[in-house]
Structure 1
Amino acid sequence: MGIRSFYLVRRLLQPLLAVAGVVFLTLPPSQASAVRHDLGDLQQQVETFLERHYQQQDVERLEIKVGSLDPRLVLPACPQPLVMSLNDSSNSGGNLTVQTRCEASQSWSIYVPAQVSLFRPLAVASRNLVRGDVVSASDISIEVVNISQLRQGYLARRENIIGQELQRPMNKGEAFRGSILDAPLVIKRGDAVHIEIQAGTIAVNSTGIAMANGRIGQRIRVRNSQSERIVSAEVVEAGKVRTSI
């Protein structure tokens, strides 16, 4: 290929390469082999960088696959250690890119694709569960799960799950998440309830009828059976609410 043809091809390809987000340095074949950075070494350095980063996340197993680089990519050999950065604020892995930079006089930058899978013991459903089920210890098993494929908010500890009520169905093997759990109903609308009325340091007991469903910690409306007044009271346990005057 003549010099004129070489630069014509270069001008035609540059817009396409820019779209890919990669800097390609095209040099005459006689020079490329002398200055080209080893792409295999670059990929290995990216893998080592990712291993060191994610091994700090207390995972049981780590799998990393660095994407292939176009063999036509020509980068000047970098005489100093490459600088790498990663945009993964949740540290959950998945499909990502590592910005790799050479900050020598012939500087360059490239985004290297990679796939990271992080495996960690998590609490999962031991059987199919339906909405409204109150989770018991037998409903939970601990399995090593690829957390990179999960949404955030998953739960690892049994004690944070047992006694909670499901807000939607779960399949066997599915990880528990905080967003699908809630405290169970301990009072239902129309239930007779015990009312503890706090007046300063004095506590007065009464009875009433719940006018709404309630979970521990929630406030519900209750009709006092003696005064017929409707009050707002906090649910403290099954069949008991507390209010103050």
Structure 2
Amino acid sequence: MKPGMHTLRRAATAGLLAAGLCLVTGSSAAATGPWEDASRLLETAAAFVRARLGDDGDVSVRLGRLDRRLRLRRCDGRLQAFWPHGRRPRTGHASVGVRCLGGVRWKIYLPVRIRRYAQVVVAARALPAGHVLSAADLKRTRLEVDGLRSYHREPRRLDGMVLRRALAAGQPVEAVHVSPPVLVRRGQRIVVEARAGGLAVRAAGVALADGRKGDTIRVRNLRSKRVVQAVVTGRGRVEVVL
């Protein structure tokens, strides 16, 4: 590992953040004398971040480099790391502070880059808009998820869903990309089921609108000619609750 760089790694890999150092010192920091070991500062910051992100799952953190020109009087007390704004950042670019609690008073801020990863469902090949998804169309891969508005973890949850737009091979399948399939088409002959208590009666009907599962649509009973509101429950099936 190169001098001046400490890597805190959770999971497999991490991106590189090569940033500068924001430094705040007291007047004593400019005095002559033994200097604080940069590795102690980085270890203190790393241990702090590791402890506070330990329950966040697949996370990688990279601390920035210390300026080689940095000169701080050796801390004669305890080094304490802290979040500058008092709140733990979730992802993205942030900073972690380290201060000396001894007679020599100073504090510095180290840049840090936090990335979250997850097993994400992606298109196994290029898929056109309107395509009905199946298991063969999808696979799981480890991706950084900070830039995704939404994503799916299990391919089976997308089985039968319809693509609203085309996807490239390897592209994550987000919630906005899919919609439930149309189970009932306007003009289609369907099964109308009416329930009352523990009794169920089935009759033939015609859908007067398209519907996805859970949609309420108008249907016409072919025997009575009555038009009623019914909930789509499956392919070619609706239910009227009496």
| TM-score under structure 2 length normalisation | 0.73
Partner of 1:45: 44
Cα deviations by residue, 1:104-125 (Å, 9 ceiling, x for unpaired): 5665554421123444433221
Question: 2:44 is aligned with what amino acid?
Answer: Q
Which residue of 110, 132, 137 corresponds with 1:139?
A: 137
Residue range with higher mean Cα deviation, 48-57 or 177-186: 48-57
* Cα deviation, residue 27, structure 1: 4.4
Partner of 1:112: 110
Superposed CA RMSD: 3.1
Partner of 1:167: 164
8 Å contact kept, 1:26–1:74: no
8 Å contact kept, 1:216–1:236: yes
* Cα deviation, residue 228, structure 1: 3.5
Paired residue secondary structure (1:243): strand
* Cα deviation, residue 208, structure 1: 2.4
Q: Which has the higher contact order (CA 8 A, sep 6+)?
A: 2
* Cα deviation, residue 207, structure 1: 2.5
- Distance change >3 Å, CA 108–CA 44, structure 1 → 2: same
8 Å contact kept, 1:166–1:181: yes
Which residue of 188, 192, 202 corresponds with 1:191?
A: 188
Structure 1 spans left out of the alignment, 5+ residues? 1-19
Residue range with higher mean Cα deviation, 107-116 or 235-244: 107-116
- Distance change >3 Å, CA 44–CA 28, structure 1 → 2: closer
8 Å contact kept, 1:121–1:144: yes
- Distance change >3 Å, CA 146–CA 40, structure 1 → 2: same
Structure 2 spans left out of the alignment, 5+ residues? 1-20
Equivalent positions of 1:79-94 (< 5 A) are 79-85=77-83, 87-89=88-90, 93-94=91-92
1:151 and 2:148 are equivalent in the alignment: yes
Residue range with higher mean Cα deviation, 154-163 or 36-45: 36-45
Separation in 1, partners of 2:45, 2:29:
28
| TM-score under structure 1 length normalisation | 0.72
8 Å contact kept, 2:25–2:107: no
Partner of 1:95: 93
Which residue of 230, 234, 239 corresponds with 2:231?
A: 234
Partner of 2:201: 204
Question: 1:96 is aligned with what amino acid?
Answer: A
Separation in 2, partners of 1:28, 1:234:
74
Q: How many residues align?
A: 218
Partner of 1:13: none
1:23 and 2:20 are equivalent in the alignment: no
- Distance change >3 Å, CA 87–CA 217, structure 1 → 2: same
Paired residue secondary structure (1:209): strand
Question: 1:88 is aligned with what amino acid?
Answer: P
* Cα deviation, residue 57, structure 1: 3.4
Question: 2:56 is aligned with what amino acid?
Answer: Q
